[in-house]
Amino acid sequence: MLVDDTLREGLQTPGMSYTIEEKIKLSRLIADCGIKRALVSYPSAHWSEVEVTRKICSENIFDETFGLGRTVESDIDKIAETGANISLHLPFQFEDIAPILEAVRYAAKKDRILEVSVVNIAKFPVKDLIKLGTKIEEAGADIVQLPDTTGQASPKLIRNVIEEAKRIMNCQISVHCHNDLGGSIANALEGYRSGADIVDTCIYGLGERNGISDTASIAHLIELEGGATGIDYVKLSRAYREVLDLIMRKIGPDLFIDNYPVEGKNTLIHTAGTHAASSKTFQGANYSVNVYTGRSMIAKILESAGIKISRESLSKLTDEIKDLAVSRGTTFSSDEIIKMSREKAD
């Protein structure tokens, strides 16, 4: 099964921001082409993500709609309140697995499909990774995602991980492959060949830094190998045209240069607040700021200019930036954030 992540992961593309209306329109086009499951939002990030998710769920645009969040009860409750199924990601750094498993057990009681991502398979030896995945499955996850979050995995590693997961575990296994080294399509296809039940994709391969696996590419390759995707390619082309229009209006054609693996500048640009807060995992201090920013990202941007503000002021500034990003459908550069902060101080 292909799971579309254009509405959520795609929103983490450097320079990309969606209005509520743009997200809803795009969700209908993606669903119309035959994709049944989509990860559409991060509800704890902003009220607009809650509104979008509720609307998509209430209209049954997808057969299965998911919202993403952290392994904390507040995020789980926020997702459940929208009517969506629950997708959770582990922290990028953690020492104690007990509170994580307790949160998974809490989410499992919500009577929704529950997916849990271990965040970064390149971080763990395969044996330890499967042991962690097994604990997550036993805590109640219906799907365990084994993602190459940093884009550093090889097809060989993907094969070893997925084959071992399918041998040991009984739940569904999902792959989510980033393209930092240009391996996302090869890795996702190897995951499928090795038995993964679910492959995450984005239209035009959009996503954090320089993106994940491209939807049309993966769909065609799976079908060449005898698999079924159920995709209507004429209708999928309409979704691609809509995304291309958004790219050209909001970013411009340079996106396709900047997104190039290894050499493209997007490889070191971050959008997700959780990534900015995890400097041990993600290198680079360049940011594209939209609704998925967090206080830690805004604080880092201001600190780079020698600006210190109170926690209360930081929260207010972050909320204002998120509101503007959604209402305008635009992102903010670090320089714009610094200027905004100084204007408020004046």
- Picking from 227, 250, 273, the residue at the C-terminal end of a domain is 250
Distances from the Cα of 78 to the Cα of 33, 41, 69, 84, 112, angstroms? 29, 11, 9, 10, 13
Which backbone phi and psi does 313 adopt, to 5 degrees? -65, -35
77 domain residue, yes or no? yes
What is residue 231's predicted lDDT score, i.e. its pLDDT?
A: 97
Mean pLDDT of the 204-220 span: 97
Distances from the Cα of 1 to the Cα of 26, 144, 147, 178, 219, angstroms? 20, 14, 16, 18, 10
Token pair listed for 341: 């902060």
Are residues 243 and 273 both part of a single domain?
no
Are residues 273 and 245 both part of a single domain?
no
What range defines the domain where residue 302 resides? 262-345
**pLDDT-based confidence at 115, cuts 50/70/90?**
very high
Quote the DSSP letter at residue 1. Answer: -
Which backbone phi and psi does 184 adopt, to 5 degrees? -60, -45
- Picking from 219, 250, 281, the residue at the C-terminal end of a domain is 250
Are residues 212 and 75 both part of a single domain?
yes
**Overall domain count for the chain:** 2
257 domain residue, yes or no? no
10 Å Cβ neighbour count for 210?
Answer: 29
Token pair listed for 76: 């789980």
- Picking from 203, 227, 250, the residue at the C-terminal end of a domain is 250
Cα dihedral: 21, 22, 24, 29 (round 10): 140
Are residues 68 and 165 both part of a single domain?
yes
CATH number, position 53: 3.20.20.70
What is residue 42's predicted lDDT score, i.e. its pLDDT?
A: 98
pLDDT digits (tens, 9 = 90+) for 273-324: 554 544 454 455 688 999 999 898 999 999 988 988 889 989 999 999 999 9
Burial label, 345 (beta-carbon count in 10 A; 0-12, 13-18, 19+) = exposed
Are residues 162 and 32 both part of a single domain?
yes
Cα 233 to Cα 216: distance, rounded to the nearest angstrom = 8
